[in-house]
């Protein structure tokens, strides 16, 4: 039985996919009590990214799709996941080594509740980018004002939860032409409104590579996109 599926969403990251996949493998190795798989979701991938997958030196199960949308790619990964839990990692970011073990333990300690875990510390880095660090709020210890979540996103897409929760709250498709994006923001808002507990365990970190251009976040900010607040849920 697989405990955790690390869903790595890939597109055209090329050689940058290699350190992302290896960071996931290190995190899996650091949690020996968990049976982990690394599932690479390749959405309209290019040849350079396919070569990186083949040469990364990590045991990876690859599932290809043709959405051109990270939201639908995440949902696809959840459907293909074999684990009881799913951890998301974007294809050019880096996962903290202790993340899988700490997140799984934190959620299991809250048995009977719907819980989503996020890394406590986020460190943004990149070429010609000033490094930035910020802390994710924890609904138990920080008591953030959830009314503000409609105005600004509290948590990134690097989340960890039971697979069935992601199936009940699928990410809404991005529709740039209609001014809708930020699928992780929409997901966070919908789940928080539904009473899901968002936690950020101490001592965990995630490393976010900021692209100079061409990244989905940069495109969304440039287009002034809003999240799709009408995210559906499934019983």
**CA-based nearest residue to 203, from 77, 103, 80, 113:** 103
Query: How far is it, in rounded angstroms, from Cα 77 to Cα 147?
Result: 30
Query: How far is it, in rounded angstroms, from Cα 147 to Cα 145?
Result: 5
- Which pLDDT does position 222 carry in this prediction? 43
- Region 53-64: mean pLDDT is 97
- Percentage of residues of the chain with pLDDT beyond 70: 87
- Which pLDDT does position 225 carry in this prediction? 54
The helix (run of H) or strand (run of E) holding residue 64 is: strand 61-65
Q: Which domain holds residue 221?
A: 4-227
Is 25 a residue whose pLDDT tops 90? Answer: yes
The pair of three-digit structure tokens given for residue 156, joined into one six-digit string: 């990134």
- Which pLDDT does position 182 carry in this prediction? 73
- The pLDDT tens digits for 141-151 are 999 999 999 88
- On whether the CB atoms of residues 152 and 196 are closer than 8 A, the answer is no
Query: How far is it, in rounded angstroms, from Cα 9 to Cα 43?
Result: 8
Evaluate whether residue 130 is within a structural domain.
yes
Which domain CATH number covers 118? 3.90.550.10
Is 215 a residue whose pLDDT tops 80? Answer: no
Domain count, the chain: 1
Evaluate whether residue 12 is within a structural domain.
yes
- What are the residues facing 10 on neighbouring strands? 42
- Percentage of residues of the chain with pLDDT beyond 90: 80
The helix (run of H) or strand (run of E) holding residue 193 is: helix 183-193
Evaluate whether residue 183 is within a structural domain.
yes
Evaluate whether residue 135 is within a structural domain.
yes
Evaluate whether residue 161 is within a structural domain.
yes
Phi (first) and psi of residue 63, to 5 degrees: -125, 120
- On whether the CB atoms of residues 172 and 218 are closer than 8 A, the answer is no
pTM of structure: 0.89
Evaluate whether residue 128 is within a structural domain.
yes
- Which pLDDT does position 229 carry in this prediction? 57
Is 30 a residue whose pLDDT tops 80? Answer: yes
- Which pLDDT does position 234 carry in this prediction? 52
- Which pLDDT does position 175 carry in this prediction? 61
- The pLDDT tens digits for 168-183 are 999 988 765 544 457 8
Angle between helices 183-193 and 70-80 (to 10 degrees): 60
Is 230 a residue whose pLDDT tops 90? Answer: no
- On whether the CB atoms of residues 188 and 198 are closer than 8 A, the answer is yes
- The pLDDT tens digits for 72-128 are 999 999 999 999 999 999 999 999 999 999 999 999 999 999 999 999 999 999 988
Is 226 a residue whose pLDDT tops 80? Answer: no
Evaluate whether residue 204 is within a structural domain.
yes
- Which pLDDT does position 211 carry in this prediction? 72
Evaluate whether residue 232 is within a structural domain.
no
Residue 136, Cα to own-chain centre: how many angstroms?
14
Token pair 């900010």 in the structure block, residue: 221
């Amino acid at each position: 039985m697989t405990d955790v599926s690390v869903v790595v969403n890939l597109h055209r990251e090329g050689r940058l996919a290699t350190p992302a996949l290896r960071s996931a493998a290190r995190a899996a190795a650091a949690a020996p009590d968990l049976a982990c798989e690394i599932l690479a979701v390749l959405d309209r991938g290019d040849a350079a990214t396919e070569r990186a997958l083949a040469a990364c030196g990590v045991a990876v199960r690859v599932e290809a799709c043709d959405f051109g949308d990270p939201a639908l790619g995440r949902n696809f990964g959840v459907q293909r996941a074999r684990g009881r839990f799913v951890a998301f990692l974007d294809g050019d970011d880096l996962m903290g080594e202790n993340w899988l073990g700490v997140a799984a333990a934190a959620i299991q300690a809250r048995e009977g509740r719907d819980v989503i875990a996020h890394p406590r510390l986020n460190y943004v880095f990149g070429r010609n980018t000033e490094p930035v660090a910020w802390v994710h709020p924890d609904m138990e210890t920080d008591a953030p004002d959830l009314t503000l979540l409609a105005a600004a996103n509290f948590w990134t897409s690097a989340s960890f939860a039971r697979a069935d929760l992601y199936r009940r709250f699928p990410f809404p498709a991005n529709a740039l032409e209609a001014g809708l994006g930020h699928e992780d923001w929409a997901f966070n808002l919908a789940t928080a409104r539904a009473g899901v507990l968002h936690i950020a365990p101490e001592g965990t970190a995630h490393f976010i590579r900021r692209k100079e251009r061409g990244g989905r976040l940069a495109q969304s900010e440039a287009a002034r996109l809003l999240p799709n607040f009408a995210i559906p849920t499934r019983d």
